[in-house]
Copies of this chain bind each other. A is one copy, B any other.
Amino acid sequence: MKKILTVLAAALLFAGAASAQEIANFNRGQQVVSPEVTADGITFRLVADYATVVTLTGNWMDYSAAPIPMTKGPGGVWEVTIPLLEPEIYTYNFVVDGVAVNDPVNFKVQRDGTRFLNMVFVPGKRSEVYNEAKHRGTLTTMWYDSALLGINRRMIVYTPYGYDDPKNKKVKYPVLYLLHGGGGDEEAWSSMGRAAEIMDNLIERGEAVPMIVVMPNGNPNQQAAPTLGIETSDVNFRDPAYANAYVNSLVNEIIPFTESHFRVIAKPSSRAIAGLSMGGGHTLSASQLYPSVFDYICPLSISSQDTPEIRAQLRAIKNDGYKL
C-alpha cells in the first residue's frame, strides 16, 4: 500500500521556486573560458560589452598593488594574461566600472569571511594535496550546547576514511583541534583551507596517521557561520571578566563532547591543537591554561608583539618541557 506524503507538502512549497530557477542554469550567457592555466601563463576573460573599465585583482598581488588592467577585444570579451604562478590555489575577482565582480564562468568559489572569491588552481607538487585523494573521509556538521558561552554552537568534524566502516567500529583515533583565524568561522578550514582534502592525502601517503579533526567556531558570540543568519549573542567577550571564555569552552565543553560522540583516544598523547592567526593565539592560550591537555601544539602565522603576556605563554609551554 502506497501513501502519498502530505506532511512534506507544506514544507516543500519552496520547490516551485527552485524548479523555475533550475532552468536558468542552462542560460549562462558567457561563452568564454576563464581562467585558463597553461605553461605560459594564466588568462582571465570576462564578457562585458557595455563596461568602460575592467580590471583584475588577486591574492598573489601585494595589497598596495594597482589592479591589473584588462583589454577589450572582439565580442566584448575583456582579457588579460599574467605569468604562470607557483603551484597553489589563488583567489581573484574582476572589477567592472568600480564594482567587484565574481567570474561568472568559474563556479569554483570560496568564502573568506563575508566575501566570495573565485579560485584558480595552479597544479604542481606543492598543490597536489588540495586535490581529492582516492580515499576520502567524512565531514560532519553538528551542534553542541555551550553552557559557558550560553548558546548552541556549530562545529565541523572530519573523520578519516574507514572510520564509518562497520568493520572498524572498535578502532579509536587521535584528535586534532584545528582553529580558524579572525574573520573566519567553523567552515573556514574545511572550505577555504581544504582541510579534508589535505588530511585525506596525507593519510593516504602515510605522512599522517588517521585522525579525527575537530573544527569549531572560535568567535564566542556566534552560534555558527554568519551566512546562516543567526543573531549573535550580546555578551561582551572583550570584557576581562570573560577572558579566555572560548578557550575554556574548547577544553571543558568541546573536548568532552567530541570524546563522548566519537571513537577517540582520550589521552594527552593523542590530542593535538593547531590554529591560524587568531586561532594560533587560542592555541597558545589553551596550552598555557591547560598544560596537561594537549601533547602536540602548532600555532601558525600569529601576528603578535613581544608583550609580557606572550612571553608568559611561551614560558609556560617551555617550562612544561617541549621537543621540536
Contact = CB atoms under 8 A, between A and B. Distances in A.
Interface stretch (A36-44, A64-72, A237-245, A294-302): A294-302
Given A2-B320, A108-B229, A15 B101 contact: no
Nearest to A7: B208
Contacts of A219: none
A1 B132 contact: no
Interface in A240-298: 260-261, 272, 274, 276-277, 287, 294-298
Contacts of A141: 138-141
Nearest to A129: B11
A62 to B, nearest CB: 10
Contacts of A321: 1-2
A227 B161 CA distance: 21
A16 interface: yes
Contacts of A136: 143, 152, 154
Nearest to A50: B98
Interface in A104-135: 104, 107-109, 111-117, 121, 126, 129-130, 132, 134
A199 to B, nearest CB: 8
Contacts of A9: 298
A176 B5 CA distance: 11
Contacts of A80: none
Contact of A317 (B2, B15, B28, B109): B2
Contact of A181 (B13, B18, B28): B18
A323 interface: yes
A20 B121 contact: no
A26 to B, nearest CB: 7
Contact of A4 (B16, B63, B112, B323): B323
A77 to B, nearest CB: 12
A309 to B, nearest CB: 19
Given A14-B193, A15-B276, A50 B88 contact: no
15 contacts: A1-B321, A1-B322, A3-B323, A11-B198, A12-B198, A14-B194, A20-B63, A21-B117, A24-B63, A26-B183, A50-B52, A52-B52, A101-B101, A132-B228, A166-B260
Given A2-B294, A19-B303, A96-B99, 11 more contacts: A11-B129, A11-B208, A19-B276, A25-B112, A48-B97, A49-B98, A51-B96, A107-B115, A132-B228, A136-B152, A139-B142
